[in-house]
Amino acid sequence: MLNFIQTILDSSTLSPHGYCLTWQPELIWLHVVSDTIIAIAYFSIPFALSIFVSKRPDVEFGWVFWAFAIFIMACGTTHLFSIWTLWIPDYGIEGLVKAVTAIASIVTAVMLWPLLPKLLALPNPTQLREAYAALKLETEERRKAEEMLRQSQKMDAIGQLTGGVAHDFNNLLTIIMGNLELAQQKLGTWVQGAEQQVRRVVDNAMTGARRAATLTERLLAFSRCQPLDPKPTDVNKLILGVSDFFRRTLGENVNLEIVNSAGLWHVEIDQSALESAILNVVVNARDAMANGGGRLTIETSNAYLDENYCRGHTDLRPGQYVLIAITDTGCGMKPEILQRAFEPFFTTKIAGQGTGLGLSQVYGFVKQSGGHVTIDSEVGEGTTVKIYLPRSSHGEPTAEDATEEAVGGHSGETILVVEDDPDVRSYVVEILKELQYEVLATHDGNSALQLLDSTNPRINLLLTDVILPGLNGRELAEQIKKRQPTAKVLFMTGYSRNAIVHQGRLDAGVDLIQKPLTQVALATKIRDLLDART
């Protein structure tokens, strides 16, 4: 092997290429310049590849670049030897360089061919652009979803705060409204002197109290804490039933058009809360069209919300919904106003014309009912409020009682009142005595049980607050049912996020009256319970 290499490297008997070219300067320099340029180009390519691979370690198949760089370097070296051998006949060394180049080319080719399918599988520029566009769209959707989540969390936080405030406020309103109601009754027997003036003052106070009660009702609706009593409902019939009231609310300058869809699905909803929600939207639409009148359209239809639509709404599930679309031709809303439309106490109306709780009440009620609400609006074109209510899978629509009548107690009927607020308890006891009931009263559950165990009175009805110190209202009712199975139970509360409400709905078999209490409402509810068959 050593002799073979020595023989190859021995150039003593060889002549340089220049002899073949008869040492013609123009021919020799043509080869020299050409090979020099080719060699420089070959050497620059590996240099560029090495910089690229070192700067981009994330590039797939980086080793291919290094193998190709070695092959190109070897090719460039062969061109340098072509220049060298013009004058010095080192053909043996040139041959070894070419042999190395041949080996590098074979190795590179062998490595490249199996890699070809993987290289072909890499995305082309069009695919990359499409992927980038899809990623950009997904990023935008995620940004919107995160913004909606932050808005939802903010609304939930405000809702918990307003629910807590409404709880205490309802107790105060029960005291105010109850005693004003009693004062109005007493005034009926006083007809001398300043009776008319005093009656006017009391009436004004009662009006203010009722407005405050409406305010707390909307606060509870927004915070999703109002106790809903859902029933299977035909939305078409419900809207037609209140259409005359809507027309009176809108006034003569606004035309009301109701478009009911045939074959509309039924929903399971609190009917009075739905009427109130639609009324709030109608009132807002009327105010938006106050200048020159316009047209309000209430349209119903069946709708299916798919996964793509629900993806950005964490509390919304795909499925079948009944859509109530309320469209006006009013002034519309600017984007910055539209973004805050559901926030409580946010209003663009002048002082005294709105509390800013109308749309927030709609939002809270719809969300509590498992639905969804959106607003589409353009300045100068009008606004559309879309309310989506989940389709009911069972039950037939029921009719609401047309009237309520307050009826007093029958002889010997006894009611046990359990209320921790002494002023509320005093008022409830007084109106029950006015209704000719026998009344027992105590401040908490343990005291009520001790009273029953010590005196063993027969009670016809337990009227208890839900939130009590110690035993809550539900636990007290269970204990009393064990002692007196025939006793009826009526809960009263000003805040429904408690033991008798699950996901905003009253538990089955539970009877509830919402604070603030009025004599008529309480008397009617008690009479209905006592007259009902066990």
Is residue 369 a contact partner of residue 228, using CB atoms and an 8 Å limit? yes
Q: Specify the pLDDT at position 17.
A: 83
Domain identity same for 452 and 484: yes
Q: What is the amino acid identity at position 39? A: A
Least confident of 165-179, 290-304, 315-329, 472-486: 165-179
Checking if the pLDDT of 326 tops 70, the result is yes
Over residues 139-157, mean pLDDT: 71
Q: Specify the pLDDT at position 224.
A: 47
Indicate whether 116 belongs to any domain: yes
Strand locations in 230-360, DSSP E? 231-233, 254-259, 267-269, 294-305, 319-328
Indicate whether 88 belongs to any domain: yes
- 464 contacts: CB under 8 Å, gap ≥ 6: 416, 417, 418, 419, 445, 448, 473, 476, 477, 489, 490, 491, 492
Torsion, Cα 506 512 515 521, to 10 degrees, reads 130
Domain identity same for 346 and 242: yes
Over residues 337-365, mean pLDDT: 67
**Rounded Cα gap, residues 273 and 221, in angstroms:** 9
Other C-beta atoms closer than 10 Å to the C-beta of 406 total 15
**Which two structure tokens, joined as six digits, stand for 485?**
């199975």
Over residues 287-298, mean pLDDT: 83
Looking at the chain, the number of H-run helices and the number of E-run strands are: 17, 14
Q: Specify the pLDDT at position 351.
A: 46
Domain identity same for 251 and 359: yes
Indicate whether 210 belongs to any domain: yes
Domain identity same for 6 and 109: yes
Indicate whether 406 belongs to any domain: no
pLDDT confidence band for 439 (50 / 70 / 90): very high
User: In the listed set 355, 390, 425, which residue is the last one of a domain according to the structure?
Assistant: 390
Domain identity same for 118 and 140: no
Is residue 314 a contact partner of residue 149, using CB atoms and an 8 Å limit? yes
Q: Specify the pLDDT at position 302.
A: 93
Least confident of 134-138, 246-250, 281-285, 516-520: 516-520
Cα 394 to Cα 148, 233, 271, distances in angstroms: 32, 11, 16
Please give the span between the terminal C-alpha atoms of the chain, in angstroms, as a whole number: 115
Domain count, the chain: 4
In sequence order, what DSSP letters do the residues of 150-214 get, joined into one string? HHHHHHHHHHHHHHHHHHHHHHHHHHHHHHHHHHHHHHTT--STTHHHHHHHHHHHHHHHHHHHH
Q: Specify the pLDDT at position 253.
A: 85
CATH assignment of the domain containing 196: 1.10.287
Domain identity same for 144 and 211: yes
Domain of residue 146: give its range. Answer: 127-222
Domain identity same for 69 and 186: no
Indicate whether 184 belongs to any domain: yes
User: In the listed set 195, 222, 249, which residue is the last one of a domain according to the structure?
Assistant: 222
Over residues 242-267, mean pLDDT: 88
**Rounded Cα gap, residues 152 and 156, in angstroms:** 6
CATH assignment of the domain containing 371: 3.30.565.10
Q: Could you tell me which residues are beta bridge partners of residue 488?
A: 461
Domain identity same for 189 and 255: no
Domain identity same for 135 and 270: no
Indicate whether 474 belongs to any domain: yes
pLDDT confidence band for 339 (50 / 70 / 90): confident
Question: pLDDT of 180-235, one tens digit each?
Answer: 666 666 665 554 545 665 666 566 666 666 656 665 665 555 444 555 667 889 99
Domain identity same for 365 and 509: no
Q: Specify the pLDDT at position 147.
A: 72
Indicate whether 405 belongs to any domain: no
User: In the listed set 102, 122, 142, which residue is the last one of a domain according to the structure?
Assistant: 122
CATH assignment of the domain containing 470: 3.40.50.2300
- 184 contacts: CB under 8 Å, gap ≥ 6: 199, 202, 203, 206
Domain identity same for 449 and 515: yes
pLDDT confidence band for 94 (50 / 70 / 90): confident
Is residue 52 a contact partner of residue 65, using CB atoms and an 8 Å limit? yes
Indicate whether 409 belongs to any domain: no
Domain identity same for 422 and 328: no
Helix (H) or strand (E) holding 372: strand 372-378
Question: pLDDT of 3-46, one tens digit each?
Answer: 777 777 777 778 888 888 888 888 889 999 999 999 998 888 88
